[in-house]
Amino acid sequence: MVLDRVEPPTGLLRVVPVAGHAHRTGNDEEIRFTGWLGLLRALYEVTGAAGSGAAPGR
């Protein structure tokens, strides 16, 4: 996670495929986010934990 700002957090989440772990594309991917909402939405997207679809405005 690369943070441009801490509070509220703004930056990008770089997703790196790791052997043995499922990953949506299998390639490196960067997801930009703004705010805690954006960060949570980005994490949900990566982990598939909750929410639906991509998080706009992140």
Partner 1 sequence: MRFVGTVAPTLRIRGRAAEIAVLAEALDRVASGRSVVVLIEGEAGIGKTRLLDETLHDALGRGMQVAAGRAEELERTRPFGVVSGAFGCARSSPDPRRVAIAELLAAGGGGERGPVTVTSDPGLRFRAVDAFTDLAEELALSGPLVIGVDDLQWADPSSLLTLAALSRRLAYLPVALIGCLRPSPRGPELDRLAGALAAAGACHLIVRGLAKDAVTELVAEAVAAVPGRGLLAGISGASGNPLFVTELLAALAQEDAIEIADGRAEVAGTTLPPSLRLTIVRRISFLPDDTLQTLRTASILGTSFTLPDLVTVADRSALELSVALTEAVRAQVLEDDGDRLRFRHDLIRDAIYEDLPLTVRRGLHREAGQRLAQTAAPSLQVAEQLARGAGNGDAEAIGWLTRAAREAAATSPEVAADLLECAIGLMSPADPDRDRLLAERARSLLVTGRLADAETACRSLLDRDHDPDAEGPARICLGHALLAGGRPHDALRELGRAGESLALSGAERASALGWASIARTWLGDLDGSAAVAEQARSAAAAAGDHITTSIAGNSSALVSLLRGQLGKALEIIDDAVRLADQSPGRQGYRFPLHVARGSILVELDELEEARSAFDADRRISEELGVRWHLPAYLNARGAERFIAGRWDDAIAELETSAGLAEETGSTYTLAYALALLSLISLHRNDLRRAGEAASAAVGQLETGARARAQWALWARALVLEADGKIADAYAALAGCWDRCAQLGLTLEYRMLGPDLVRLALARGDRERAREVAAAVAGLADENPEVSSLAGAALRCRGLAEDDAEILLAAAAAYAQGPRQLELALASEDAGTAFARQGMTGQARPLLDQAIEIYDRLDAARDLARAEAVLRAAGIRRGRRGTRGRPQIGWYSLTPTEHTVADLVARGLSNPRIGDRLYISRRTVQTHLAHVFAKLDITSRAQLAALVTQHRGSESPQGTGPGGA
**Token pair 């043995």 is at which residue?**
20
Q: Write down the least CB distance from residue 37 to partner 1, Å.
A: 5
Two tokens, residue 8: 């509220």
Two tokens, residue 2: 């690369």
Q: Write down the least CB distance from residue 6 to partner 1, Å.
A: 11
**Contacts with partner 1, 17-56, as mask; x by CB under 8 A:** -----------------xxxx--xx--x-----xxxxxxx
Q: Write down the least CB distance from residue 7 to partner 1, Å.
A: 9
27's CB contacts (< 8 A; 6+ apart) are: 17
